[in-house]
Amino acid sequence: MLQNDLTHSLSVIVGNDALLTGEPAAPYCADWRGRYSGNALAVVFPSDTQQVAKVVKLCAANNAAIVPQGGNTSLCGGSVPLSQSVGGGQIVLNLSRMNQVRAIDPTNYTMTVEAGCKLADVRDAAEKNNRFFPLGLTATQKYCEIGGNLSTNAGGINVLRYGNARDLVLGLEVVLPDGRIWNGLRSLRKDNSGYDLKHLFIGAEGTLGIITAAVLKLYPGPQAEATACVAVRDPAAAVALLSHLRATCGDKISAFEIVARSCLDLVFKHIPGTREPFTGKHEWIVITQLADVLSAPLDEALGEALRTFGTGIIEFDISSNKDHAERWWKLRKHISEAQKCEGISIKHDVSVPISRIADFIARADAALHNAFPGIRIVAFGHMGDGNIHYNISMLDAKQNQAYIAQQEAAVNKLVYAVVRELNGSISAEHGLGQLKRDAIRDYKDPLEMELMRTVKQALDPKGLMNPGKVL
Amino acid sequence: MLQNDLTHSLSVIVGNDALLTGEPAAPYCADWRGRYSGNALAVVFPSDTQQVAKVVKLCAANNAAIVPQGGNTSLCGGSVPLSQSVGGGQIVLNLSRMNQVRAIDPTNYTMTVEAGCKLADVRDAAEKNNRFFPLGLTATQKYCEIGGNLSTNAGGINVLRYGNARDLVLGLEVVLPDGRIWNGLRSLRKDNSGYDLKHLFIGAEGTLGIITAAVLKLYPGPQAEATACVAVRDPAAAVALLSHLRATCGDKISAFEIVARSCLDLVFKHIPGTREPFTGKHEWIVITQLADVLSAPLDEALGEALRTFGTGIIEFDISSNKDHAERWWKLRKHISEAQKCEGISIKHDVSVPISRIADFIARADAALHNAFPGIRIVAFGHMGDGNIHYNISMLDAKQNQAYIAQQEAAVNKLVYAVVRELNGSISAEHGLGQLKRDAIRDYKDPLEMELMRTVKQALDPKGLMNPGKVL
């Protein structure tokens, strides 16, 4: 089939108003950070699962590759077409029109949603039913879509308590690479009746099939919260504090974030209305939160836990007042934005065992400062999950462009070497996409890469699902 | 290679004292309920992963099938050889000698254990380090092994709060069907660097490879507990009560079990030292437990929640005294034993959405009593997970043998039809093994069965891993 004929046939499936080509298609062919852009024959917006299946069947018959796309907020170029040409061309299959909440069962604590539901809308729909959907991505949840969240196994601030996106799913509906529809929309807490196929598609970044709907777990909403801002001596004290808090407050810990002085300085400089949380200046602060369904006096429990911790804490402040706590959260939430004001940086999203976080920061800091005098390291993140965002730029912003062009590979090599020493992962929550597709081959066991290719080959023998991503 | 030569070569790998044939091998070729037995050329007891790998390589080269075995407590014939002959014969590969705790990292809340560790020993090792491993199978944990627990994705009483075995794993070491060793022993809370392969092997009942070690998640141990015994009007009231408790007590609910009058009568009759929990006789009771890491007054919270529930509760009693609560737990824990005193029964381990449990019981009861007058239905189980154990026998025990021989298939058909109507699963926590291998083909979407076979074919093209189980 000629490419024009293919485009025409696609428009017959989805309707003329649900297919873009040329200039109008361009925004869907580039990522939101402006790092990746590619070429698609067309962008299609199917409105239901049957249309997705028909599009996939047609593409498969014509050897056209398919790039599944949700809110297109990938940080790794996972949701845009490749810039190089691909066999029978690339079709972007955008799921944003599939945005129905199909069902909510408050008694079963589940909801069934289509892939194109925005994360914020999923959370709102749960809340309207007096339930809570815990996946929270403060920066993007108004834009990102649940299908993308599941395809990338998204993380965020509440992983410590509720798990990754993967842990919040009971069932999936998936359009397979040959266009058949797998209805795995079960809403069961227990089901040991064969291989758990949903876990193959979750986190596969669209390379094994297209998630079109999911049954999500819901929770009772927290009634009580208490937040503490804690100045700690160093990352080792933060690691010990987290362990102490888990032992004393258990599942109530809903967040444990670490922020380095370099982050705070950037935030104070660029984000209006922010200021030092303490009268003294400290090198490391932790923001931690307890939450409970019972309206218990959590600030007392948190205060008791912090007071009994020992010498690693320099000072702390506790509040169960939301507005007060939000002042601290603002420091954490605006780090990326503040950093952007000083230009681009080399970003890492790594994880190590929680017990090795202090080692990671110490070793990576030493290696980088030694190799590259004059750099600034911006380290922060979800310490409760062992997940550190670790970004490197020059103190003098004007030098950044040249530094990154010349040294990005060398910086990555140093950081990833420390990650490897500590049995960590070079992609904790953002996925691989195009960004880390090459790097992962150096850091993952060749046998595991082979197993991944075996699975890919078995499910997508033509290699048409999101080619050039992950593997 | 002749079968004698194969046996000799195996003994060279594992040592003469770690290989059994003939009569001494027989206990490892039959299941503990005496329902399944088969024939193995030999039973081998490798002592480390390298030996497992060598055994598997040798078997693969000789087309001998491998039956991985732990504590051999499968309820579905999953861990014993087939009775029919299999290509190059069957080897039972028992992992009980691989029983080392390789590492415990209390700060990371993880431990690395070998497959042959008994579940009770895993729990003890965690406790010695002031940590808690929540998988609890009261009837078998002194015998079953963690490798088997993971291969079958075991459930138990604490699933409601901590998830199934699958949810308690961060990493795996697996010997693949060709004898290569996949080292996926990561201890990371977040790792989005490709397909999550561990979920393929967990719950696959040894048909895709042999789990030889695992990194398990640990938790802080509960400091406070409160238990309630609640007489409820009917299963619908129990469903509503669970929903109410989740909304008011949230994650603190660590168990929610339902028990029918028929179970209680059997327990009182056969288990010494048991008696009615209330002065009145009630048709349905619920035993529920709250647990918390904080030493909070949970009995107050539980009492408040029960008092505010409404008319579905007939009466209730609460205790935070362990011995007192154990009197109630004894009623629940001894149901299977009491039932056994009256002979065999047709057992079901099914799940439905929690909101449909009352429907399930009502519909299945009606269909069965209508079709088979004179039966006794023993219904109990993990209501908090939507998982009901639903066992059928004749009221007159003497008729059981004949009834089961003639009607088992018809009974299963009626029960499974209701499960299907309610989008449930015919195997909630016990797996498929040999027992439900045929039935599952009637109840699972053919496309899902095909996907399972595709995965099996890709990873075990020779079909030598635990043949005749699952699919």
Least confident of A2-6, B311-315, B319-323: A2-6
Of A203, A385, A431, the CB nearest to B189: A385
Q: Is the pLDDT of residue B464 over 90?
A: yes
- Contact with chain A for residue B457, Cβ under 8 A: yes
Q: A243 CB near a chain B CB, below 8 Å?
A: yes
pLDDT tens-place string over residues A186-223: 999 999 999 999 999 999 999 999 999 999 999 998 88
pLDDT over 80 (residue B295)? no
Q: Which residue of A has its CA nearest to B292?
A: A250
% of chain A surpassing 70 pLDDT: 100
Chain B residues near residue A458 by CB distance under 8 angstroms: 454-455, 457-458
Q: Quick one: pLDDT at residue B233?
A: 96
Residue of chain A nearest B187, judged by CA positions: A353
- Subunit contact A239:B107, Cβ cutoff 8 A: yes
Average pLDDT of B362-391? 95
Per-residue pLDDT, B57: 98
pLDDT of residue A237: 96
Residue A297 has pLDDT above 90, yes or no: no
Residue A240 to residue B107, Cβ atoms within 8 A: yes
**Which pLDDT does position A4 carry in this prediction?**
82
What does the pLDDT read at residue A15? 97
Contact A170, A151 (CB under 8 A): no
Count chain A–chain B contacts defined by CB atoms under 8 A: 281
B17-31 average pLDDT score:
96
Q: CA distances (Å), A399 to each of A370, A395, A405, in order?
A: 18, 8, 10
Residue A119, pLDDT above cutoff 80: yes
Tens of pLDDT along B208-232? 999 999 999 999 988 889 999 999 9
Strand partners, A183: A173
Q: CA end-to-end span of chain B, whole Å?
A: 28
Beta bridge partners of B292: B224
Q: Which of residues 320-349 of A touch B (CB under 8 A)?
A: none
Q: Are residues A220 and B425, on separate chains, in Cβ contact within 8 Å?
A: no
Residue B219 per-residue DSSP state:
B
Tell me whether residues A186 and B246 touch, CB distance under 8 A: no
pLDDT digits (tens, 9 = 90+) for B152-183: 999 988 899 999 999 999 999 999 999 999 99
Which positions in chain A touch B181 (Cβ < 8 Å)?
447
Give A-chain residues touching B383 at CB under 8 angstroms: none
- Cβ(A228)–Cβ(A316) under 8 Å? yes
- Whether the per-residue pLDDT at A317 is higher than 80: the answer is yes
pLDDT, tens only, B343-375: 889 999 999 999 999 999 999 999 999 999 999
**Mean pLDDT confidence for B37-42:** 95
CA distance A101 to B117: 45
- Residues of chain A with C-beta less than 8 angstroms from the C-beta of B190: 155, 159, 164, 351, 382, 385-387, 425, 428-429
pLDDT of residue B298: 87
By C-alpha distance, the chain B residue nearest A155 is B190
Residue window 68-87, chain A: list those with CB within 8 Å of chain B: none
Q: With bands split at pLDDT 50, 70 and 90, how would you rate the model's confidence at B87?
A: confident
**What percent of chain B is modeled with pLDDT above 90?**
86
Average pLDDT (B64-72) is 97
If one counts every other C-beta atom within 10 angstroms of the C-beta of residue A319, the result is 18
CB–CB contact B167 A164 (8 Å)? no
Model pLDDT, residue A14: 98
Q: Does A217 touch chain B (CB under 8 A)?
A: no
CA distances from A134 to A217, B79, B250, B258, B326 (A): 9, 38, 13, 28, 35
Q: Is residue A257 scored above 90 in pLDDT?
A: yes
Q: A118 in contact with B at a CB cutoff of 8 Å?
A: no
CB atoms within 10 A of CB A128: 10
Instruction: Determine the longest span between alpha carbons in chain B, in angstroms.
Output: 72
Coil, strand or helix at A166: helix
Is residue A2 over pLDDT 80?
A: no
* pLDDT score of A158: 86
- Cα distance from N-terminal residue to C-terminal residue, chain A: 28
Residues in A touching B459 (Cβ below 8 Å): 451, 454
pLDDT score of B310:
85
How close does chain A come to B245, measured CA to CA in Å? 10
A241 lies within 8 A of chain B by CB = no
Residues B188, A351: C-beta atoms closer than 8 Å? yes
Per-residue confidence at A118, pLDDT binned at 50, 70, 90?
A: very high
Question: What is the per-residue pLDDT for A85?
Answer: 85
Q: Is the pLDDT of residue B35 over 90?
A: no
pLDDT of residue A285: 97
Band (pLDDT 50/70/90 cuts) for residue B76 is very high
Considering chain A, what is the average pLDDT of its residues? 94
Specify whether the CB–CB gap between B21 and B69 falls below 8 A: no
Mean pLDDT value across chain B: 94
Asked if A431 and B192 come within 8 Å (Cβ–Cβ), the reply is yes
**DSSP codes joined into one string, B178-197:** TS-EEEE----S---SS--T
pLDDT at B292: 87
Among B253, B310, B304, B259, residue whose Cα is nearest residue B284: B259
Q: What single letter denotes the amino acid at residue B451?
A: L
Contact A193 B425 (CB under 8 A): yes
Q: Name chain B contacts of A105, Cβ cutoff 8 Å.
A: 353, 355
- Does A294 have pLDDT greater than 80? no
Under the banding of pLDDT at 50, 70 and 90, the label for residue B470 is very high
- What local confidence, expressed as pLDDT, does residue A306 receive? 94
Q: Which of A121-125, B203-207, B274-278, B318-322 is the least confident region?
A: B318-322
Say yes or no: A355 contacts chain B, CB-CB below 8 A: yes
Indicate yes or no: CB of A432 within 8 angstroms of CB of B192: yes
User: What pLDDT, on the 0 to 100 scale, is given for residue A28?
Assistant: 97
Choose between A25 and A138: higher pLDDT. Answer: A25
- What angle, 0 to 180 degrees and rounded to 10, lies between the N-to-C axes of helices A261-270 and A322-333? 100
CB-nearest to B423 from A152, A186, A219 is: A186
| DSSP E strands, B106-195 | 110-114, 169-175, 181-184
What is the average pLDDT across A154-159?
Answer: 88
Give me the torsion for CA of A260, A265, A267, A269, rounded to 10°.
Answer: -170
Q: Is the pLDDT of residue A295 over 80?
A: no
Q: Which residue of B has its CA nearest to A173?
A: B448
